[in-house]
């Protein structure tokens, strides 16, 4: 197997583990709400605890990796996240639940910026977007696998405590294996002193070659992440409120992830063929229309529409991540990915909290309608990105209109 594919395989395996641990919380949220007597706003804070840590540590992780190398940092974060999930199973109250999830988020924070930059560096500009689409696809494999196993374990009588502890053990083992795999490939080791001090003037600063385009890209990511985290947090509550059995509602996130797997893999390659702008517009329109549609469909019809919503909901990210490498110098991509993921994590904090408060004041159907409408704010930003590309600064991809 070529070395670049081996790097991609290791990063895909890491993505499975981290995203699986992160998003297995979604089917557990109704159980946690019942166990600890939580309001919708408190449920939003549970999900936001991870995102607070990720928002605070993703950018420092990218900066630190430039100085120390990403290999040890990535392995340490994976082991730390696994250890936090082991502790999560012993949480006896709401405060301890939040604290442990914050610690888990600190470990999870290193994965996205470091793995994305490794994959981006391993592949050339013509193949980067497809490779990152594959990497993102395996993140959804992890989400679907861990969320599916969580739902299955709960359905067969296991407590949520045992479920998260099993995930924690797998995280510790994965972190150890990851370190030795990257060392054997000689990837992301500590740079020597000459490499750290000999950067060219062009590589100084953030290395952003088109600030308007990068700002528009970040704006699209902000609304996309807000919609995704808001929808995933409250879709099960929507179906339960409408009378769907809890056993079915617990599978709602799994249904979204099943479509999201296809979307993340397909949309990266689709953008290489028809262009970034067209692909993002299609996925964001599909997301908003799909979310609004489930509000008036019968319960089971809405349930089986969820995979199709997942295709659009999760597909946009592959396009956005693959475009960073076109707008930022290669030796500054770790910090650029860190900044990009940090913005998404901040939205992951604010969106569940804001939508949770909205659900407490009004109701979940109204909240879901707002979530579905917010995503349409990305369309004007797509036009800004298009103008930036057409000005001749950067060609985001050959198929861009």
pLDDT, greater one: 11 or 195: 11
* pLDDT of res. 388: 65
What pLDDT, in 10s, does the model give residues 116-160? 888 888 886 667 777 888 898 898 789 889 988 998 998 888 889
Confidence bin at 355 (pLDDT 50/70/90): very high
Q: Residues of the chain with pLDDT > 70: what percent?
A: 92
What pLDDT, in 10s, does the model give residues 58-69? 888 888 888 888
Q: Which domains does the chain have, with CATH numbers?
A: 3-190+208-390 (1.20.1250.20)
What pLDDT, in 10s, does the model give residues 82-94? 999 999 889 888 9
Q: Say if residue 195's pLDDT is above 60.
A: no
Confidence bin at 381 (pLDDT 50/70/90): very high
Run of H or E residues at 208 = none
Q: Say if residue 394's pLDDT is above 50.
A: no
Confidence bin at 191 (pLDDT 50/70/90): low
pLDDT, greater one: 319 or 284: 284
Q: Are 287 and 375 in contact (CB under 8 A)?
A: yes
Instruction: With CA atoms as reference, report the closest residue to 333 among 346, 343, 348, 323.
Output: 323
What pLDDT, in 10s, does the model give residues 328-341? 777 777 788 888 88
Report, as an integer, the average pLDDT of 222-251: 89
Q: Where are the alpha helices (DSSP H) in 24-122?
A: 25-36, 40-68, 70-88, 94-108, 111-122
| Beta-bridge mates of residue 328 | 208
* pLDDT of res. 76: 94
pLDDT, greater one: 206 or 163: 163
Confidence bin at 361 (pLDDT 50/70/90): very high
* Whole-prediction pTM: 0.77
Least confident of 93-107, 115-129, 285-299: 115-129
Q: Are 369 and 201 in contact (CB under 8 A)?
A: no
Q: What integer best gives the mean pLDDT of the chain?
A: 85
């Amino acid at each position: 197997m070529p070395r670049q594919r081996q790097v991609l395989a290791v990063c895909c395996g890491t993505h499975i583990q981290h995203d699986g641990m992160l998003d297995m919380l979604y089917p557990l949220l109704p159980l946690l709400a019942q166990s600890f007597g939580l309001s919708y706003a408190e449920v939003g804070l549970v999900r936001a605890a991870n995102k607070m840590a990720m928002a605070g540590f993703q950018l420092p992780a990218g900066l630190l990796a430039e100085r120390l190398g990403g290999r040890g940092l990535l392995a340490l974060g994976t082991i730390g996240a696994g250890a936090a999930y082991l502790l999560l199973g012993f949480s006896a109250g709401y405060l301890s639940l939040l604290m442990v999830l914050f610690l888990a988020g600190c470990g999870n924070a290193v994965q996205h910026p470091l793995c994305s930059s490794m994959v981006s560096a391993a592949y050339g500009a013509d193949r980067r977007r497809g490779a990152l689409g594959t990497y993102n696809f395996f993140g959804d494999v992890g989400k679907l696998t861990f969320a599916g196993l969580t739902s299955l374990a709960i359905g067969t009588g296991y407590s949520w405590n045992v479920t998260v502890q099993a995930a924690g053990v797998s995280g510790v083992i994965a972190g150890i294996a990851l370190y030795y795999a990257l060392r054997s490939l000689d990837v992301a080791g500590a740079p020597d002193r000459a490499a750290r001090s000999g950067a060219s003037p062009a590589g100084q600063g953030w290395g952003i070659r088109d600030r308007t385009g990068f700002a528009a890209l970040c704006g699209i990511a902000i609304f996309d992440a807000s919609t995704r985290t808001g929808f995933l947090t409250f879709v099960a509550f929507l179906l339960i409120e409408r009378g769907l059995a809890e056993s079915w509602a617990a599978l709602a996130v799994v249904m979204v992830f099943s479509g999201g797997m296809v979307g993340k893999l397909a949309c990266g390659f689709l953008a290489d063929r028809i262009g970034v702008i067209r692909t993002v517009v299609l996925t964001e329109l599909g997301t908003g229309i799909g979310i609004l549609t489930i509000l008036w469909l019968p319960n089971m019809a809405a349930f089986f529409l969820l995979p199709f919503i997942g295709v659009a909901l999760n597909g946009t990210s592959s396009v956005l991540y693959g475009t960073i490498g076109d707008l930022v110098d290669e030796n500054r991509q770790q910090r650029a990915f860190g900044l990009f993921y940090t913005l998404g994590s901040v939205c992951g904090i604010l969106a569940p909290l804001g939508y949770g408060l909205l659900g407490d004041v009004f109701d979940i159907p109204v909240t879901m309608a707002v979530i579905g409408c917010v995503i349409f704010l990305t369309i004007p930003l797509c036009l800004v990105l298009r103008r930036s590309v057409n000005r001749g600064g950067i060609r985001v991809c050959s198929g861009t209109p």
